[in-house]
Amino acid sequence: MTTATHPTLAEASARREPRFLIIGAGMSGILSAIKLQEAGLDDFAIYEKADRLGGTWRENTYPGISCDVPSHLYSYSFAPHPEWSRRFSPGSEIQAYFEDVARRHGVTERIEFGKEVVRCAFEDGRWEIELADGSRDAGDFVIAATGVLHHPALPALEGLDSFAGAAFHSARWNHDVSLAGKRVGVVGTGSSAIQIVSAVVDEVAELVLFQRTPQWVLPIENPAYSEEERAEFREHPEAMAAIRDEVSRAFVDGFANVLVDAKSPLLQVIHDTCEANLDNSVKDPELREKLRPDYRATCKRLIMSEDFYDAIQRPNARLVTEAIERVEESGVRTRDGRLHELDVLVLATGFRVDRFMRPMEVVGRDGVRLDDVWKEGPFAYMAVSVAGFPNFFMLNGPNGPVGNFSLIDVAEMQFAYILKLVEQVRSGACGEIGVSRAAMERFDAERREAAKTTIWATGCKSWYLDAGGLPTAWPWTFDRFREEMSQPRLADYEMR
Ligand code: NAP
């Protein structure tokens, strides 16, 4: 891992064999390593701060966790998996899948576990990185595969520390705490909270859900694959490919392409389906109205659940809509003065979505700090490149398509795009490549304009919005994203 064992930039470019530093061994870091190997670019290191790969799926182990993208779509295109147990398989299976794919592709043995990159600096045409343990490495390209929803957002609730029971964030589940027969409070009504509530309600003595904002819930079915179906997938992988194509097309046409046009009639269809789900599923009119959002479906990230409304109507479940005043030793006190006594408090309160690869310090050309460039909030050209940071690329970086569809698909497209940029260096056309300032500014202005007409900008609060209330996600169709990713507009890149 010392720089001395690696070629200098001049040597590397003379041999056209760049060295890559991949940061993070989650879904997109594993993908990067596999694709680099496939391209014959074997000079790379993967740094992972944890002692296990898997990213999101390593960190989120709460009861009921699954991915609401169908499993045959939420898989790498090159690694179909006949063994998925359900249409939406549980998180532990997804984690096992990534571990298996990484092992089978010889990636696991190349991961440097327990190595947190704390600084990346572009010096003399190379990226020098520093790790928390004081060690260093250098390479020609950095691939930041550091995830999106990574740093838990803890609510600023007065008195949280005084709670006598166990309190933990949904992404830091404390498996030492049994919920059986306990009074359990859950704060939040996002995708995590909804899955937790549905999974634990029958185990706990009492479940209290603290809702600040109600959510629209799209009903889904989650059938198990039978042994016969799995045998069919094993024998005929093309059957899995067919499911993947079908689901992908349905997601793109019926969802991803639609969200970016707030006027789309299909959004009304989704809204009506959610409204019918609420009206038909929740019997008590008072509870039903408490659960009814006052904004349009899909403005916030849509919740997909087959059992949340059943769960919240269980006799031992209680929905609290009164705002939280503070946390006390024995529970949560709401503004109406009522104390909700609890043994366990789960904070399903989301993530700090403006972090991306930070707190890692990134210093680009001429000492420019990413923290300064991003002081108003993170942004990136095509979600992969930032001006002033050549040969530094992100997977699932800011302004990319996030939503209820496969981030694996997104990362695969992005990595193929990045490889085309790398090719410019390999071919000798340049030694450094990164988006030009003019192209980045043009892109960002267009993105901001387009963001205003998306469903996310129709009057709700969500993690899709930046500090100024503007949606940050890719504001155009998924088809446009695919098209942009198919071939970089090299004129937008500065090559030196
Ligand atoms: P989230 O969607 O950001 O939801 C956080 C929840 O906590 C919201 O209901 C929020 O209320 C509430 N909250 C935050 N601070 C609070 C406070 N101080 N007091 C009261 N309530 C507070 O987070 P998440 O559920 O972890 O989900 C994040 C994202 O992860 C999802 O949108 C999705 O992209 C992904 N995810 C996907 C799945 C899946 O595939 N099934 C599962 C889990 C997560 P407000 O709405 O009022 O802000």
Q: SS3 for 89-136, per residue? A: CEHHHHHHHHHHHHHHCCCHHHEEECCCEEEEEEECCEEEEEECCCCE
CA atoms in the 13 A half-sphere facing the CB of 123: 9
Calpha distance 11→99 (Å, rounded)? 35
Token reading at 356 = 């991306």
Mean pLDDT by 10 residues, the chain (496 residues): 47 69 98 98 98 98 96 97 97 98 98 98 97 98 95 97 98 98 98 98 98 98 97 96 94 92 97 98 98 98 97 98 98 98 98 93 98 96 98 97 86 98 94 98 98 97 95 95 98 97
Calpha distance 75→64 (Å, rounded)? 20
Calpha distance 262→269 (Å, rounded)? 12
Q: Amino acid identity, residue 218?
A: L
| Confidence at residue 405, expressed as pLDDT on a 0 to 100 scale | 72
Q: Relative to the CA of 461, which ligand 1 atom is closest?
A: 48
| Confidence at residue 402, expressed as pLDDT on a 0 to 100 scale | 85
Distance (angstroms) between ligand 1 centre and the Cα of 301 equals 9
Distance (angstroms) between ligand 1 centre and the Cα of 146 equals 20
Q: Relative to the CA of 66, which ligand 1 atom is closest?
A: 41
Cis peptide bond N-terminal to 152, omega within 30 = no
Q: Would you say 146 and 356 are in contact if contact means Cβ atoms under 8 Å apart?
A: yes
Q: Would you say 423 and 439 are in contact if contact means Cβ atoms under 8 Å apart?
A: no
Q: Relative to the CA of 193, which ligand 1 atom is closest?
A: 25
Which residue is associated with the tokens 């100024």?
Answer: 468
